[in-house]
Structure 1
Amino acid sequence: MKKYLLNIGLLLLAATFTTSCSDEEEVDISHIDFTPDSWTPGAVDNWLLQNFVMPYNIEVKYRFDRNELALDRVLAPVREDKVIPVMETIKYTWIDPYETEAGSSFIKRLSPKQFVLVGSASYNNNGTITLGTAEGGRKIVLFVINNFAKTEKGEVRQMLHTIHHEFAHILHQTIMYPQPYRNISTGYTASWNDYSLEEALSRGFVTQYARSSPDEDFVEMISIMLIEGKVGFDAIVNSAPAEAQPLFRQKEQLVVQYFKDAWNIDFYSLQTKTQTAINTL
């Protein structure tokens, strides 16, 4: 399973003290039936059928099903009013740019066949949270959906960061990226979250998590280049020490070459389409 993680450090510690329940509070959830087969399809289900199941054969599960998720985590169901805005955003800012650039069969052939939406984050023991997971290129789980708002560009980019990251895994697991990419940066480590973003940038890693392995480095580059656009990515590169900037440009060149050679996609054109979609959402 591939996981996209976010370092939250002391924020996690602080967050545990923000809410509490009194002894007198009782929440009656006895009337809620979480058995998947007991639900009657409604307007949200019909919308998903028309926009994801029929055109792309992508199932979107938003009703809470414990069998789809890790059993050792405390998780919250997604709010139903968040489902369509989230999936509209995914369609407009992820599917449409790829479909326009690569053709109608590209997403149909390579997209994960199931999205699972979870309302809350998935908290880890090492001070990080999991924002998304991908299983065998067939299923993507998205967390923290209850915080999503279309009008907040930061939240849109965060969610798209996860999706582009996981989809890039599907791409390189189908056709491998150029092997020289693995040798550009040094300092890969399983303890990536113990180091600062500044140190990651100094070694040519676009995020802290990119330090965890060459595969994660490659997909983080793709995701950041797409959600930040050319201007945003150039700003990140320019913020790195001078000796690290050529490392980013080498990686950028190999990403562009990979998309052209493996998928016949003009990456810079895809980058522009993605950024335009985000800005006009």
Structure 2
Amino acid sequence: MKLFKYNKIAVLALVSIALVSCGNDDQPGDSQLDYTQPVKTKLDNWITTNYLTPYNINVQYKWNQNTVDNSRYLFPPTIEKVQPALEIVQTIWLKSYATIGGADFVKKIAPREIVLVGGVNLNSVGTRTLGLAEGGQRVTLFETDYIDKSNRENVAEFIHTIQHEYIHILNQNKPFDEKSWTVITPGGYTADWYNYEIPESNELGFITSYARSNINEDFAETASMILIYSKDEYAAFLAGIQSPFALEALKKKEALVVKYFKEAFNMDFYALRDEAEKNTTAVITN
């Protein structure tokens, strides 16, 4: 019994020492994490008003290494170039689709984020990647720093990128008629499309050389190129084709694009083209 009593006393003593020891340990201080919300700039507020609120599209223009290929020499856009670039996209792409497809069209089918990159995304074979569409949720636009709103060709190249990538997003939502498309120019596709001049590819029934990479890019290139042409410009392009086979192939592809927009989205593709042309002129002349 005494042994038990002494052991009990010893245990109590050890517990007391432990409690005193714990009481003397350094206690955690204030958190070192910064929870301060960044102050929104005038540009941030403009993006919220023109993209985030009406379309639920976030715009990322500040550098984030997790959204770009870190093996490439890329850099964020110059701040002064961000809003002009977004105004081009808003006027020619968003407003054109909203007018012809309905106010809610882009709200329902759109990337949830647009990433702007200032520099050129140069590939090892010498080509440039102008844009990327990732899983239908994010579109990355390169060469933002080189936009010149007064130059129609420059604006057309830039807006062609978002038009092209958006076609991919539409195709992910509702596929086009791949079976009918495949048989039009089955022998013209090649992984080495960049080795061919555009006029050479035109005479094989492709609207650009990049269209020759595969049928998905062919569809997106055909639709997006027609959208950046005016009606007269596209007619002149077709009139310049020498090969009867190529001319027929291009017309068949055009017809499938028109059919796709009508059947998949009940949208008049030619009306969309005309609206985009009108809005492109508005961008350049303002």
TM over 0.5: yes
Q: Which moved more, 1:215-224 or 1:225-234?
A: 225-234
- 1:268 corresponds in structure 2 to 270
1:83 is aligned to 2:85? no
8 Å Cα contact 1:201-1:241 kept in structure 2: no
Unaligned runs of 5+ in 1: 1-36
1:91-130 aligned within 5 A: 91-130=90-129
Report the Cα offset of residue 65 of structure 1: 1.0
- 2:224 corresponds in structure 1 to 223
Deviations 1:169-218 (A, max 9, x none): 01111111112012111310111001111221111100010000000000
8 Å Cα contact 1:78-1:118 kept in structure 2: yes
- 2:7 corresponds in structure 1 to none
Q: Distance in 2 between matches of 1:214 and 1:163?
A: 19
Q: Report SS of the residue matched to 1:54.
A: helix
- 2:69 corresponds in structure 1 to 70
**Amino acid in the other structure paired with 2:223:** I
Identity %: 37
**Amino acid in the other structure paired with 1:279:** T
Q: Distance in 1 between matches of 2:106 and 2:224?
A: 17
Report the Cα offset of residue 39 of structure 1: 4.8
1:189 is aligned to 2:190? yes
Which runs of structure 1 show a deviation greater than 4 angstroms over 4 or more consecutive aligned residues? none
Deviations 1:68-101 (A, max 9, x none): 1011111122011111111111111101111011
- 1:159 corresponds in structure 2 to 158
Unaligned runs of 5+ in 2: 1-35
Deviations 1:37-71 (A, max 9, x none): 98532000000001100111000000111111011
- 2:43 corresponds in structure 1 to 44
Q: Report SS of the residue matched to 2:132.
A: strand
1:143-158 aligned within 5 A: 143-158=142-157
Report the Cα offset of residue 138 of structure 1: 0.6
Q: Distance in 2 between matches of 1:146 and 1:98?
A: 25
Change over 3 Å in CA distance of 1:43–1:187 after alignment to 2: same
- 1:279 corresponds in structure 2 to 281
Q: Distance in 2 between matches of 1:38 and 1:129?
A: 37
**Amino acid in the other structure paired with 1:270:** L
- 1:174 corresponds in structure 2 to 173
Q: Distance in 2 between matches of 1:39 and 1:131?
A: 30
TM normalised by structure 2 equals 0.83
**Amino acid in the other structure paired with 1:264:** N
1:242 is aligned to 2:243? yes
Q: Distance in 1 between matches of 2:113 and 2:89?
A: 13
Change over 3 Å in CA distance of 1:39–1:72 after alignment to 2: farther
**Amino acid in the other structure paired with 1:96:** K
- 1:22 corresponds in structure 2 to none
Q: Distance in 2 between matches of 1:60 and 1:102?
A: 23
TM normalised by structure 1 equals 0.85
Q: Distance in 1 between matches of 2:44 and 2:219?
A: 35
Count of paired positions: 245
Q: Distance in 2 between matches of 1:137 and 1:61?
A: 16
**Amino acid in the other structure paired with 1:276:** K
- 1:59 corresponds in structure 2 to 58
- 1:142 corresponds in structure 2 to 141
**Amino acid in the other structure paired with 1:155:** N
Q: Report SS of the residue matched to 1:44.
A: helix
Q: Which moved more, 1:268-277 or 1:39-48?
A: 39-48
**Amino acid in the other structure paired with 2:182:** R
Report the Cα offset of residue 103 of structure 1: 0.8
**Structure with max Cα Rg:** 2
Q: Distance in 2 between matches of 1:234 and 1:58?
A: 35
**Amino acid in the other structure paired with 1:226:** L
8 Å Cα contact 1:132-1:141 kept in structure 2: yes
Q: Distance in 1 between matches of 2:154 and 2:141?
A: 13
1:14-29 aligned within 5 A: none
Q: Distance in 2 between matches of 1:39 and 1:119?
A: 22
